[in-house]
Amino acid sequence: MDNFDFYNPVKIIFGKDQLKRLRDLIPTNQKVLILYGGGSIHKNGVYKQAVAALKNHEVYEFSGIEPNPRYETAMKAVEIVREKKIDMLLAIGGGSVIDAAKFIAVAALYEGTDPWDILTGATKPAGSVPIGVILTLPATGSEMNSGSVITKESTHEKLAFMSPLSFPKFSFLLPEAAATLPKKQIANGVVDAFVHVIEQYVNYPVNTPLQDRFAESILQTLVEEGPKVYANPADYDAMSNLMLSATIALNGLIGMAVPQDWSIHGIGHELTALHEIDHARTLAIVLPGLWKIFRKEKKEKILQYGKRVWQITEGSEEERVDEAIARTVEFFESLGVKTKLKDYNVQEDSIEKIAVRFEERGWKAFGDRRLVTPQKVREILMLQLG
């Protein structure tokens, strides 16, 4: 096994009637800035409960954080943090709000000219305002990791940073609050978590049976519980199983000592940046094409995945690889998540644009074995055109 570090100090508080504990987690002399997106936290009652629990705190709020959270929006919240001398950020919602909170928290303490430098990697964050999370949407895993993805509207750039300073201090996981989500968001959450696992698991074998089985455990649970939640978001047990799976999919556990790819995400981000396709849907588009193009390189793990997640045991190796890809596509489509570019009105000219963006950015080859060249991106997306 390769050497690795694992560290994840996030306190998870899972379940029902938990939010009253907020007051014990944030000292009353601290000023809190509540961050959220649209109105869903009013609809699901979480806003009211959070504010009630913090009735003895000085509380400010900042709303309007969008999906694929914008640098431009986050910088407005940074001003409030600085001006009001905020001690604690409380992100309520899903991955977008949490990602924004992580960036706002480090940007507020950044002493250079432009905190965007943290995202380009030109500088590392030197400090962070503490963050707490109330998760109402199972998907990104941001509630239990130290990563954040931010989009700059002016340049259509979507970049990520990670910092050990950015782990939330605590995250409430509230399956009940997710019961009122639109089905589209639930489907996105299932696919997002699924592909997070795939990026860490379907690469090449390195004799890590425990991590492999943990990855398969999450995938199997998503395959079983995802459709239940999609059919009935008020199924508390199924939603609980989905929410826990999505959180653990990207908290470092299954990533220990294994190769990680993330090229599905790399290509998907471009589709979101250019066409505003939901993040999860871009992953569902890219994955089948990428596996077809790299079927030889990923063969052993695709076969293992097919056998353990989909019980595919018959046929030649090539047939089993095909079936594993087909079953995956079928699973996404069963959740209403389309996997072809034309389903999203994206035409061939966009494929060329995307390939050129990678070339211009100097991404000559990325992925776990640096095999994904701009030319391969072209081939992958052409297969998924429709």
SS3 per residue for 141-181? CHHHCCEEEEEECCCCEEEEEECHHHCCCEEEECHHHHHHC
Q: Which of 151, 203, 221, 350 binds its own copies (CB under 8 A)?
A: 221
Nearest to 329 by CA among 340, 318, 320: 340
- Specify whether the CB–CB gap between 124 and 144 falls below 8 A: no
Q: Which of 46, 218, 258, 309 binds its own copies (CB under 8 A)?
A: 218
Q: Which of 52, 210, 231, 234 binds its own copies (CB under 8 A)?
A: 210
Nearer to its own copies, 53 or 329 (CB): 53
Nearest to 267 by CA among 282, 284, 288: 282
Question: Amino acid identity, residue 328?
Answer: T
Nearest to 132 by CA among 9, 41, 26: 26
Nearer to its own copies, 32 or 249 (CB): 249
Does 213 help bind its own copies (rule: CB under 8 A)? yes
Does 133 help bind its own copies (rule: CB under 8 A)? no
Nearest to 275 by CA among 337, 324, 343: 343
Does 225 help bind its own copies (rule: CB under 8 A)? yes
Does 217 help bind its own copies (rule: CB under 8 A)? yes
- The minimum distance between CB 175 and its own copies, in angstroms, equals 7
Q: Which of 50, 92, 101, 253 binds its own copies (CB under 8 A)?
A: 253
Q: Exposed/middle/buried for 365, CB within 10 Å: 0-12, 13-18, 19+?
A: middle
Question: Hey, CA dihedral for 81, 87, 93, 97, is it positive or negative?
Answer: positive
Per-residue interface string for the shown chain with its own copies, residues 165-204, x marking contact by CB under 8 A: ----------x-----------------------------
Does 24 help bind its own copies (rule: CB under 8 A)? no
Of the candidate spans 79-87, 145-153, 232-240, 346-354, the one that interacts with its own copies by CB under 8 A turns out to be 232-240
Nearer to its own copies, 2 or 352 (CB): 2
Question: Amino acid identity, residue 194?
Answer: F
- The minimum distance between CB 25 and its own copies, in angstroms, equals 11
- Specify whether the CB–CB gap between 254 and 222 falls below 8 A: no
Does 128 help bind its own copies (rule: CB under 8 A)? no
Q: How many CA atoms lie within 13 A of 192 on its CB side?
A: 25
Place of tokens 């992953």: 283
Does 300 help bind its own copies (rule: CB under 8 A)? no
Place of tokens 């995938």: 219
Nearer to its own copies, 192 or 225 (CB): 225
The full DSSP string for 59-116 is: EEEE--PPSS-BHHHHHHHHHHHHHHT--EEEEEESHHHHHHHHHHHHHTT--SS-TH
Does 273 help bind its own copies (rule: CB under 8 A)? no
Contact residues for 231 (Cβ-Cβ < 8 A; gap 6+): none
Does 224 help bind its own copies (rule: CB under 8 A)? yes
Q: Which helix (H) or strand (E) holds 31?
A: strand 31-35
Q: Which of 56, 113, 207, 316 binds its own copies (CB under 8 A)?
A: 207
> What's the Cα-to-Cα distance from 266 to each of 91, 124, 368, rounded to whole Å?
26, 21, 12
Give bridge partners of residue 161 from the DSSP assignment.
Answer: 148
Does 3 help bind its own copies (rule: CB under 8 A)? yes
Size of the site for its own copies (CB under 8 A): 42
- Specify whether the CB–CB gap between 76 and 62 falls below 8 A: yes
- The minimum distance between CB 313 and its own copies, in angstroms, equals 13
- The minimum distance between CB 228 and its own copies, in angstroms, equals 11
- The minimum distance between CB 212 and its own copies, in angstroms, equals 8
Of the candidate spans 33-41, 252-260, 267-275, 342-350, the one that interacts with its own copies by CB under 8 A turns out to be 252-260
Of the candidate spans 87-95, 96-104, 124-132, 235-243, the one that interacts with its own copies by CB under 8 A turns out to be 235-243
- The minimum distance between CB 245 and its own copies, in angstroms, equals 5
Contacting residues toward its own copies, per CB under 8 A: 1-18, 175, 207-210, 213-214, 216-218, 220-221, 224-225, 236-237, 240-241, 244-245, 248, 253, 256-257
